[in-house]
Amino acid sequence: MHKGVSFLIRYLGKRIFFMLLSLFLIITATFFIMKAVPGGPFTSEKNVPDEIRAALEAKYKLNLPLHEQYLDYLIGILKWDLGPSFAEKSSTVNEIINRGFPVSAHLGAQALLIAIFGGITLGVIAALKHNKWQDYTAMVLAVLGLSVPSFILASFLQYFFAMKMGWFPIAKWEGFEYTILPSLALAAMPMAFIARLTRSNMLEVMSQDYIKTAKAKGLNTVTITVKHAIRNALLPVITYLGPLVANILTGAFVIERIFGVPGLGREFVMSITNRDYTVIMGTTVFYSIILVTAVLLVDIAYTLIDPRIKLSDTGRE
């Protein structure tokens, strides 16, 4: 027991160290890339007098040497003070994140559930009905989901289900019915990938000897599928959850813009247009924290679900 706990602590410590190192590299790269981009947050079509520009740069400490700005930014992140917004003078980056992230989290969680449960359901049905019309139908839907870009699918959903059929609102975020179309558009591609992944792994698992033995013992298809096949077939799907969270988050940028969803993704796109560098860097850091944390949780879940995976170092018991 104590040995297993020590292995778990050592494993978590190693993973957390690499997670923090990844965050540091992302923060550093984001800061210097933003500083290397031509122009500035106060660049506009009309010329700003030099005196006003100098006063603004002094106010936001943009006149300091680059290494001092970098150190100030690192200290601010440690204090979770991401600075003011250049475009929204009355808001800070923290306030923008607090305002937009709950909406993005709602949309992302809803799309994540649709992608996981919809993809697994389609994949299991396709595997159990191999080479039948159910299999062909599920795979056609999967190919379409992987082939059609999310922004094209979003426009189609708006045109057909909102404008033509009138079943759902075309945009905005004012109730549950407003969440359905953007969630479907966001979930389509990962759901299709999960369906194909589940189908291929289910077919492989169903051909294993222990499944044949269970059938020979007279166990019904539901028991074999639920108790024996799905658990082993879903291990690759669990591995995909880390990249899946990344796909959901990055895909939400475009979807939120198309559907007028007041989430953090839309704020990020608008900050690029407005050259609001503090918002760009702040949201990048925030999303990076979410992504590396999701990858860590997926790794831990994978080791818990599959007992064959050891937390100890390779070659050691």
CA distance 105 to 173: 13
Range of lowest pLDDT (39-53, 134-148, 234-248, 282-296): 39-53
pLDDT at 307: 54
pLDDT tens for residues 97-132? 888 888 888 888 898 889 888 888 888 888 878 788
pLDDT at 139: 84
pLDDT at 121: 86
CA distance 40 to 49: 14
pLDDT at 314: 42
The yes-or-no verdict on residue 312 having pLDDT over 60 is no
pLDDT tens for residues 59-89? 666 667 788 888 888 888 888 888 888 777 7
CA angle 29, 35, 39 (to 5 degrees): 145
CA distance 3 to 11: 12
- Report the percentage of the chain scoring pLDDT > 70: 75
pLDDT at 32: 86
Higher-scoring residue by pLDDT: 237, 98: 98
Task: Give the ranges where 47-132 is alpha helix by DSSP (H).
Answer: 50-59, 66-78, 93-128
The pTM of this model reads 0.74
The yes-or-no verdict on residue 315 having pLDDT over 50 is no
Give me the mean pLDDT over the 181-193 stretch: 88
pLDDT tens for residues 24-41? 898 888 888 877 776 666
The amino acid occupying position 247 is N
